[in-house]
A = this chain, B = another copy of it.
């Protein structure tokens, strides 16, 4: 009762995730080397490669990112010729995101750096906890979670 003033990190999941995100952003970016490409950009390129020419909408959904935010984030990558937008043939509203040869090459180059960072992460946290953490975070990022979270508020709210 009297301890509500305790450090917010101990009680707020959102703040906890955010703060950890800042720390990891730093650590992984450092580990990525002077590659001029950020961790966020690397993961975006990787996701684009994985999805094979997704529309911006599809990519945004996979990234759990706002569509316009994605659009903004893609700008510097397009400017640097790592990514290109090609209009969908069927739906002329949609634009598909595609890695340029340069983009594909840059992504491949950085895989080793990323693996090293991830290796260190696993070494420090432990492979078990590391995997478990990613599973939990994947659930939190899922639509199921968002729906359940919304539903949990419908009643008592």
Write the residues of chain A forming the contact surface with B, with a CB cutoff of 8 angstroms.
4-28, 31, 39-40, 43, 46-47, 49-50, 63-65, 111, 114, 116-121, 123-125, 129-130, 133-134, 136-141, 145-146, 148-150, 152-153, 156-157
The interface residues of chain A, by DSSP majority, are classed as: helix
- Contacts known (A136-B125, A140-B125); A8 close to B43, Cβ less than 8 A: yes
A47 to B10 Cα, complex, angstroms: 11
| Contact with A13, one of B6, B14, B134 (Cβ below 8 angstroms) | B134
Copies, count: 2
What's the minimum C-beta distance from A149 to chain B, rounded to whole angstroms?
5
- Contacts known (A19-B64, A136-B133); A12 close to B152, Cβ less than 8 A: no
- Contacts known (A46-B8, A146-B23); A138 close to B18, Cβ less than 8 A: no
B43 engages A116 (CB within 8 Å): no
B13 engages A118 (CB within 8 Å): yes
Residues of B with C-beta under 8 A to A8: 43, 46-47, 50
| Contact with A19, one of B20, B25, B63 (Cβ below 8 angstroms) | B63
A53 to B53 Cα, complex, angstroms: 50
- Contacts known (A7-B50, A17-B137, A25-B18); A152 close to B125, Cβ less than 8 A: no
7 of the cross-chain contacts (CB-CB < 8 Å) are: A8-B46, A9-B137, A12-B118, A14-B117, A16-B138, A18-B43, A19-B64
B13 engages A64 (CB within 8 Å): no
Residues of B with C-beta under 8 A to A31: 153
